[in-house]
Homo-oligomer: A and B are copies of this chain.
Amino acid sequence: MDNIVIRYTEKPKLKDPIFIEGLPGIGNVGKLAAEHLIDELGAKKFAEIVSKYFPPQVMVLDGGLVKLVNNELYYVRNVGKGTDMIFLVGDYQGMNPEGQYELTDFILGVLKDFDVKRIFTLGGYGVGRIVEKPKVYGAATDEEMVKEMEKFGVVFSRGEPGTGIVGASGLLLGLGALYDMHSVCFMGETSGYFVDPKSARAVLEVLTRALGIEVDFSELEAKAKQIDAITARLRESEVKPEEPRKDLGYIG
């Protein structure tokens, strides 16, 4: 089989779409944020990507049906001031460096076909402590993007994250430059101990400002309250939360 297989259920015509990536990573910040946006904007799935760079695994869904682990592309038209959008979400990122490079390059090829020129990648930045008001750090491919995004409250700082950005959120910027894409990565501060809807909301607040759109956050707020309840209970019982895996701490 091919290393990467894409199956289109639809080939939508889109006008200068922007691209938003939210794959699993630290605190699942990017995944939560992108999936929330897909739900709120009513974006529609149009393609599935399976690959031998993902684990050899099926998920078991409601009703006992299986789904091969995959990545999925969604689109929505005419949002806010008339923007078309493509989203990438999924169960996994590529499991090894080769897979990361191949999958990212594959996605960029797909985006080129849709004439994408602007990329937003969403992720978390693990800081190893509970964060009350998560900041959103940024990194970009060019200075105009930096200047533009600073206006929306994104923090650009050489030392953050010190280890660079590992995984799809970083690679889409790095390889995207070879495709002449203007890209920015938003990283919400997060402890790294838990799935973090609060950080996802912080990222979305910046992103929606940048896109000139408004979305409802009640769904994310409900999830955040659940997590807060769990962390409060953990603190009371003085059970120290598990150490975050170090090798995940810097995955965007």
- Whether A146 lies near B68 (C-beta < 8 A) is no
Q: Is the interface of A mostly helix, strand, loop or mixed?
A: mixed
Decide if B97 touches A171 in the complex (CB within 8 Å): no
A100 contacts B by Cβ under 8 Å: yes
What is the CB-to-nearest-CB distance from A37 to chain B, in angstroms, rounded to a whole number?
23
Asked whether any CB of chain B lies closer than 8 Å to the CB of A57, the reply is yes
**A66/B174 contact (C-beta < 8 A), A1-B105, A97-B55 known:** yes
How many chain A residues have a CB neighbour from B under 8 Å?
A: 56
Does A143 contact B63, Cβ atoms closer than 8 Å?
Answer: yes
Query: Can you list 24 A-B contacts (CB < 8 A)?
Result: A1-B102, A1-B175, A50-B175, A53-B97, A55-B97, A56-B171, A57-B164, A58-B139, A58-B170, A58-B174, A60-B164, A60-B165, A61-B158, A62-B158, A64-B146, A64-B156, A64-B157, A65-B139, A65-B140, A65-B141, A66-B139, A66-B174, A68-B175, A69-B164
Known: A56-B104, A58-B173, A59-B164. 20 other contacts (CB 8 A): A5-B178, A50-B178, A52-B100, A52-B102, A53-B97, A55-B97, A56-B100, A56-B167, A57-B166, A57-B174, A58-B165, A58-B171, A61-B158, A63-B156, A64-B156, A64-B158, A66-B170, A66-B174, A68-B171, A68-B177
